[in-house]
Amino acid sequence: MQVRNISLLNFKNHPERQFELSRQINCFVGDNGAGKTNVLDALHYLSVGKSFLGTSDTQNITRGSEYFTIQALIEEEEREHLLNVHQAQDGKKHIRKNGKLYTRISEHIGFLPSVMISPYDSNLISDSGESRRRFMDGMISQVDSQYLHDLIQYQKILKQRNALLKYFQRNRTFQLESLEIYDEPWARLAANIFQVRRDFIQTITPIVQYYYSVLSLGKEEIAMEYHSHLHDTDPMHLLRNNLEKDRMLSYTGQGIHKDDLWFGLDGYPLKKSGSQGQQKSFLIALKLAQTEHLTKHAGKKPILLLDDIFDKLDESRVTQLIQLVNAQDFGQMFITDTHKERTENIVKRINEESKVFEI
């Protein structure tokens, strides 16, 4: 997959901007706050239909405007596609490919796969399990439409079950038969999601370990573990064993919606024992593994979005990263940096076919 050009209209701090892009490496350089990351976020919108920063769609409209539009020409093998994302101030969002409107955003996911490496990724290490679940679900959903469908259905049923539990508590009543309507589909979907997540983590962990070993010159060892209530019991037993607790809490307290990932460094939690450079190296290794996984299972090379990639890495890790990227064909890359000379020197060591845009 190649993004040949992109145009932004009323998107964040870019009232109007166009870029003719390199097939290999594209660098956006400028001061902090100039809007470099916003260009990467626009590419992320084209990929998955939303901001990687977690902001609401209407917040990304240039102040004083009624809408934003992101449009790009995408080259897939020998075919070209025109991709358009339009967001109105009234909340309506439309994604079109070659003029045809997607009825559901889930239909679009996977067409233009992407991997984002950003300073905000540190939340994966420091935040709650919700961030890590969201990341895991995003990685799997780009290559497994059935998983995405099951996940959406699971969340819908979970919401309905929780609403009924709240109704029972509020009205001081309880009807087991009414609650059991949700239990069977909840358990079936939970089992499917658990199996896919477990298989995915088992597959991707050694790839992450390989990339981290390269970046750290083999001096450190990292680990990933998938934590889930379903490791110890099946979903239906989990519901039955926690029924009284769920009634007291008025929500479903256990299940795959509480799953988490544990990251370790030399046997200790990465969150506590890893330096900023070690944590960033881990996140880069994780995202490069995601890139390899997407390429293998989607049959497409994802675009690689590297935001402020060289910050907090010492010279040896930067060198290893450059050599790694140079040795592996990761496809089209987009890089932001505040230092133009540093970026130009680095990308020339990776590939001569590059473009540098000053923002």
As annotated, the binding site for ATP includes: 30-37
Helix (H) or strand (E) holding 48: helix 36-48
Q: For 180, list phi and psi in degrees, rounded to 5.
A: -65, -15
Structure tokens, 126:
């420091």
Q: Which one-letter amino acid corresponds to residue 197? A: R
Q: Which residues contact 63 (CB under 8 A, 6 or more apart)?
A: none
Question: How many residues does the structure list for the chain?
Answer: 359
Q: Which one-letter amino acid corresponds to residue 35? A: G
The closest alpha carbon to 103, from 95, 92, 111, belongs to 95
Sign of the C-alpha dihedral computed for residues 316, 319, 323 and 325 taken in this order:
positive
Instruction: Using CB atoms within 10 Å of the CB of residue 36, give its burial: 0 to 12 exposed, 13 to 18 middle, 19+ buried.
Output: buried
Binding-site members are 30-37
The closest alpha carbon to 193, from 122, 236, 255, 282, belongs to 255
CB atoms < 10 A from the CB of 216, how many? 20
Q: With both helix axes pointing from N to C terminus, report the angle between 340-350 and 315-327 in degrees, rounded to the nearest 10.
A: 40
